[in-house]
Structure 1
């Protein structure tokens, strides 16, 4: 019943996202703007605004982790880095798919690509020499996953929407596992250097 009232606005937002001038905008900023506008227009609570913000952040982090995982498979020198990158690309793609499905059900706009901050991180890592890449990639993954674990932990208890709480609770163990794996890979890379 609630999702029906968001179908038309969501469809209109999708059409707007495909317009030619949308390609010039930062996808993350545009998703935030569209969600704030929809929430403001619908007079929805601040808690629902926080839910949408969480989903945009989760999507932008997930997109970055997939792209960096692919980069690690190409550029990484240590086997632990290549293996971790492959796992991140695969598992975060699965999480991203589930997140997109949930966002569609809730009428929440997610970024279609990397935002400016994520592009900057990607470019910085892509520009590193291979010898420096492994260390910096794993540092980035430890930091990103620590932030993700905190956000998913908070939202597994505090999200306004029960489905979003359920999503956060479902994927929190996966993100904790990724954080542990990143730390283990980091230890392996430091031992071999």
Structure 2
């Protein structure tokens, strides 16, 4: 019965993705809505809702960092920033794959693209050039990584689901390492105009 419901839901999601107005929906909001709907139907706990919210937030933050880093590989005026962006693109791919696999295993929906707030952040960043771009990119990375580290740290201890707790614990050290690397690059950019 549950698998039939999941199959029916999957067909609806696919059909909805093909509809003309599907492109106007905020992917992050849609993922949250679908997860709340599933969780509500399954009568699960608040801690499970928190797990699902963590997964959506981790995916959307990871996508933003990945897209910003791809942009930085093209637009950066500073070799240190380009090098950092290249490393982040490679490493975020691993986290993203693990996150997608875990979400599929847990029957949770992740956003298919950047949310409207993230699209605005990306657009604002892409409008910049030169060292202004580099400094803003690094600043945004510091902000997103701090938020991510706090969330991964909390979930590595408090997630309801053991697999989600394990995922958070496994990737927390990588996020902390990224934060240190970004801090080093920030120091290098400090004296630039």
Q: Same fold (TM over 0.5)?
A: yes
Q: Are 1:129 and 2:129 matched, yes or no?
A: yes
Do the aligned residues in 2 keep the contact of 1:76 with 1:130 (CA within 8 Å)? Answer: yes
Shift of 1:5: 8.3
Do the aligned residues in 2 keep the contact of 1:13 with 1:109 (CA within 8 Å)? Answer: no
Instruction: Report SS of the residue matched to 2:108.
Output: coil
Q: Are 1:8 and 2:7 matched, yes or no?
A: yes
Alignment of 1:7-156 (within 5 A): 7-8=6-7, 11-12=10-11, 14-20=13-19, 21-156=21-156
Do the aligned residues in 1 keep the contact of 2:131 with 2:192 (CA within 8 Å)? Answer: no
Between Structure 1 and Structure 2, how many residues are aligned? 191
Shift of 1:41: 1.0
Do the aligned residues in 2 keep the contact of 1:68 with 1:122 (CA within 8 Å)? Answer: yes
Shift of 1:129: 2.3
Instruction: Report SS of the residue matched to 2:113.
Output: coil
Q: Which runs of 5+ in 1 are unaligned?
A: none
2:169 and 2:12 map into 1 onto residues whose CA distance is: 28
Distance 1:26 1:179, change over 3 A: same
**Could you tell which deviates more after superposition, 88-97 or 58-67?**
88-97
Over aligned residue pairs, what C-alpha RMSD do you find?
1.8
Q: Give the TM-score, by structure 1 length.
A: 0.93
Do the aligned residues in 2 keep the contact of 1:80 with 1:185 (CA within 8 Å)? Answer: yes
Q: Which runs of 5+ in 2 are unaligned?
A: none
2:11 and 2:125 map into 1 onto residues whose CA distance is: 36
Distance 1:6 1:189, change over 3 A: farther
Shift of 1:153: 0.2
Distance 1:179 1:13, change over 3 A: farther
Shift of 1:130: 1.7
CA-to-aligned-CA distance 1:70-106 (integer Å, 9 cap, x gap): 1111111111110111111111121111100000000
1:4 and 1:70 map into 2 onto residues whose CA distance is: 38
Q: Give the TM-score, by structure 2 length.
A: 0.93
Distance 1:187 1:13, change over 3 A: farther
2:146 and 2:28 map into 1 onto residues whose CA distance is: 21
